[in-house]
Amino acid sequence: MSAKAFDAIVVGAGQAGTPLAGRLNAAGMKVALIERKLVGGTCVNTGCIPTKTMVASAYAAHLARRAADYGVTVSGEVGVDYKAIKARKDKVSGASRTGLETWIAGMEGCTLFRGHARFESANTVRVGDELLTAPKIFLNTGGRASVPDLPGVHDIPYLTNSSMMDLDVLPSHLIVVGGSYISLEFAQMFRRFGSEVTVIEKAPRLTGREDEDTSAAILSILENEGIAVHVGAGDISFAKQGSGIAVTFAADKPAAVGSHVLLALGRVPNTDDLGLDKAGIAVDQRGFVVVDDQLRTNVPGIWAMGDCNGKGAFTHTSYNDFEIVAANLLDNDPRKVSDRIEAYALYIDPPLGRCGMTEAAVKKSGRRALVGQRPMTRVGRAVEKGETQGFMKILADADTGEILGCSVLGPGGDEAIHCVLDLMYAKAPISTLARAMHIHPNVSELLPTIAQELKPLT
């Protein structure tokens, strides 16, 4: 069989692959875009869009239950129609996927192949019965939930972040194994839908990459909503118990018995079944494709973007990967991965927005630093909204004034953080933030105030 020739092959129609196919096509290239499951990748189908749609429903239920706090009368008990919540989620997610599919179909020089791509050589890929060849190949194959080989885990009907999206019944008791970002979003969401929720984490605290004060505040937020949290759970095992599932996590404590179990224990790259060895593409010990600062693999003419390269596990890092590759290839703009500043959000309520270094990282660096912090109880906008959990923290270099990092855990924290992130990209000193006039009343208006009140970090 002779191979079909293209100028470029993009493997994976996720948040980097799809826009890159569009840029390459607009540049006059003949492009093959390959997707084995759903166009849009994790973000559109099982990640950001569907989960944040459900987070919005959970917030509406939570606010309705608090109506009396605002002097609003709601007659009767606040109910949750989980099938309607799922239908709304499916509609929003489906519309996004359909929009992408329509866009791809309108690209005259782009062909979408449905199926599992496997390398046969460094410039040849097979998809089912089709053999495709191109001098440029781009990987955007994403990742999936990790399922560690814990005792009894394969004897129970566990859920992952993906299969949670197909769940059409509300769990009576959801046990979430894992205490990081995905797990905590689901934990709070389903608690607000009416489920009993238990979180089990093997580490000494939740969200281990955050500072201890942030982890403690997140724990308080969850426990205030009636979520049972167990940390330091060393020996986790699973077993069926009647119609439920028992999760044992400590020798001196009784097992938690729930109706459903969600495993949220990290993610692994989708690289193990691509035939990378036939192309000579190097991967690291965890299976991530090894790339340089411009996302080139060790094989000339092959790039890797998104979750499969280990350079970030977010939609925004994946899209930024696309921008870096496109800038270098098409715009004569030598952008690099190392140019970007770490930034992300945790979408519990209130959300956490984070950018730059944590306090722990700054201390470890050994540099002299300044820190400023303010609880949301002293932020007027938060008080007015009746949402005073959390705090804001800013870190700066004591010698240069460089802004090192910021955390905003509170109402609008995922938006307010960009006030600081943008200044960091502009390489503006902390004095620029201190002298800025922000709009009142607003959560972010306290960021300049904090910048004026920095003290030595000890």
Active site residues: 440
Beta-carbon contacts of residue 218 (< 8 Å; ≥ 6 apart): 184, 206, 207, 210, 346, 348, 352, 409
d(CA 325, CA 336): 9
Structure tokens at 203: 């580490």
Name the burial class of residue 439, with classes exposed (0-12), middle (13-18) and buried (19+) by CB atoms within 10 angstroms of its CB.
exposed
DSSP character string of 146-203: -----TTGGGS--B-TTGGGG--S--SEEEEE--SHHHHHHHHHHHHHT-EEEEE-SS
Beta-carbon contacts of residue 98 (< 8 Å; ≥ 6 apart): none
- List residues bridging with 8 in a β-sheet: 31, 136
Neighbours of 79 (CB within 10 A): 8
Rg, Å, the chain Cα set: 24
Structure tokens at 205: 């605290």
Strand, coil or helix: 217: helix
Which ranges of 314-390 would DSSP assign to H, the alpha helix? 315-330, 359-365, 380-385
Beta-carbon contacts of residue 99 (< 8 Å; ≥ 6 apart): none
Phi, psi of 372, deg, nearest 5: -135, 145
d(CA 86, CA 255): 30
Instruction: Read off the amino acid at residue 248.
Output: T
Neighbours of 284 (CB within 10 A): 12
Strand, coil or helix: 260: strand
